[in-house]
Structure 1
Amino acid sequence: MVIDPVARRTDGESVRIAKDVLSAGSHAKICLPDTPEEFARALSRRGSRRPVVVGDDHALLRAVAQLHRERELAAGVLSLIPVGAAHALEVAHALGVPRGAVAAARTALDGAVRRLDLLVDDSDGVVLGRLCIPAPTLLADAPHTGVTAVWDTCRSLMTSLVRPAAPGASGGPQGTYRLRVEADGVLLSDLDAPVRGVSVHSQGDGGLADVVVRTSDGEEVTAEAKAVTVSGADFRYRADIQTGGPVRTRTWTVRAGAWGLMLPVPAS
Structure 2
Amino acid sequence: MSDHDQLLVIVDPVARRSDGESVRIAKDVLSAGAEAKICLPDSPEEFSRALSRRGSRRPVVLGDDRALLRAVALLHRDRAPLALVPIGPPDALEVAYGLGVPRSAVAAARTVLDGAVRSLDLLVDDSGGVVLGDLRLPALPAPAAGSAPSVWGTCRSLVRTLVRPAVPPVPSVPVHRLRVEADGVLLADVDAPVAAVTARPVDGGGGTAEVTVHPAGPAGAPRRAVAGTLTVSGPDFRYRADGRVTGPVRRRTWTVRAAGWGLTLPRDADPPA
**Which category describes the TM-score, using the shorter chain as reference length?**
0.7 to 0.9
Kept after mapping to 2: 8 A contact 1:58/1:241: no
- 1:117 corresponds, among 121, 132, 138, to 121
Aligned counterparts of 2:93 and 2:201: Cα–Cα separation in 1 = 17
Task: Please give the root-mean-square deviation of Cα atoms over the aligned residues, in Å.
Answer: 1.9
Letter in 2 for 1:222: R
Secondary structure of residue in 2 paired with 1:233: strand
Letter in 1 for 2:190: L
1:41 aligns with 2:29: no
- Structure 1 counterpart of 2:186: 187
Percent of residue pairs bearing the same amino acid type: 67
Give how far 1:234 is off.
1.2
Letter in 1 for 2:175: T
Letter in 2 for 1:223: A
- Structure 2 counterpart of 1:94: 98
Give how far 1:266 is off.
2.0
Letter in 1 for 2:30: L
Aligned counterparts of 1:11 and 1:174: Cα–Cα separation in 2 = 40
Q: 1:66 to 1:160 in 2, by over 3 A?
A: farther
1:203-260, Cα deviation, whole Å (9 max, x unpaired): 2342211111111124421111111111111111111132212111111110000101
Give how far 1:59 is off.
0.2
- Structure 2 counterpart of 1:228: 230
Aligned counterparts of 2:45 and 2:87: Cα–Cα separation in 1 = 21
Secondary structure of residue in 2 paired with 1:30: strand
Q: 1:128 to 1:160 in 2, by over 3 A?
A: farther
Letter in 2 for 1:96: G
Secondary structure of residue in 2 paired with 1:259: strand
Task: Answer with 213-222 or 58-67: which moved more.
Answer: 213-222
- 1:160 corresponds, among 129, 144, 149, to 144
Task: Answer with 195-204 or 84-93: which moved more.
Answer: 195-204
Matches within 5 A, 1:124-143: 124-134=128-138, 138-140=140-142
Aligned counterparts of 1:205 and 1:106: Cα–Cα separation in 2 = 26
Aligned counterparts of 1:41 and 1:252: Cα–Cα separation in 2 = 27
Letter in 2 for 1:214: H
Aligned counterparts of 2:204 and 2:53: Cα–Cα separation in 1 = 29
Q: 1:55 to 1:117 in 2, by over 3 A?
A: same
Aligned counterparts of 1:80 and 1:117: Cα–Cα separation in 2 = 17
- Structure 2 counterpart of 1:200: 199
Task: Answer with 94-103 or 197-206: which moved more.
Answer: 197-206
What 5-or-longer segments of structure 1 have no aligned partner?
141-158, 162-172
Give how far 1:267 is off.
6.4
What 5-or-longer segments of structure 2 have no aligned partner?
1-8, 146-171
Q: 1:189 to 1:236 in 2, by over 3 A?
A: same
Secondary structure of residue in 1 paired with 2:38: coil
Which protein is bigger by CA-based radius of gyration?
A: 2
1:68-122, Cα deviation, whole Å (9 max, x unpaired): 4xx32x1x21000001111110000111111100110011111011001010111
- Structure 1 counterpart of 2:165: none
- 2:244 corresponds, among 220, 242, 245, to 242
